[in-house]
Amino acid sequence: MKKQVATKQFKSEIFREYSSTPKIEPLGKADNEMVLYMSDDNQEGFIEWVIDYEDGGQDVVDIGLWFTPHKELKDYDGVFSLCKQAIEFLEEQGFNCDYAKDNLNQI
């Protein structure tokens, strides 16, 4: 069972990435909330990312996370690449995210 350990709120532009093409689709501005859930041993977790668009729409994205015993991110699932806000959020909680920075799209 995973427990909630931290929350981050921010406003940003949102873009949709596609794995089959280099196309990046702008979706507009949104209020965002990320909630981090972790296992007791800090080796598995997920971020529940709630995106509230200015037009009233909403998306919820679950990002699976796996870490080494030394709090280094070793894999993630649910998004093509972790956004910079997710990386910053994890680093604020003491995790090393060098693995995700290699795939970061700097929009």
107, pLDDT greater than 60: no
Determine, yes or no, domain membership for 13. yes
- Give the Cα separation of 101 and 6 in Å (integer): 21
Determine, yes or no, domain membership for 76. yes
Determine, yes or no, domain membership for 105. no
Determine, yes or no, domain membership for 68. yes
Task: List pLDDT tens digits, range 50-81.
Answer: 999 988 999 999 999 999 999 999 999 988 78
Share in percent of the chain as helix, strand, coil (round to 5): 10, 55, 35
Determine, yes or no, domain membership for 106. no
End-to-end CA distance of the chain: 34
Count how many domains the chain has: 1
Full domain range(s) for residue 38: 3-99
Q: Are 20 and 95 in contact (CB under 8 A)?
A: no
Task: List pLDDT tens digits, range 6-54.
Answer: 999 999 998 887 777 778 888 889 999 999 999 999 999 999 999 999 8
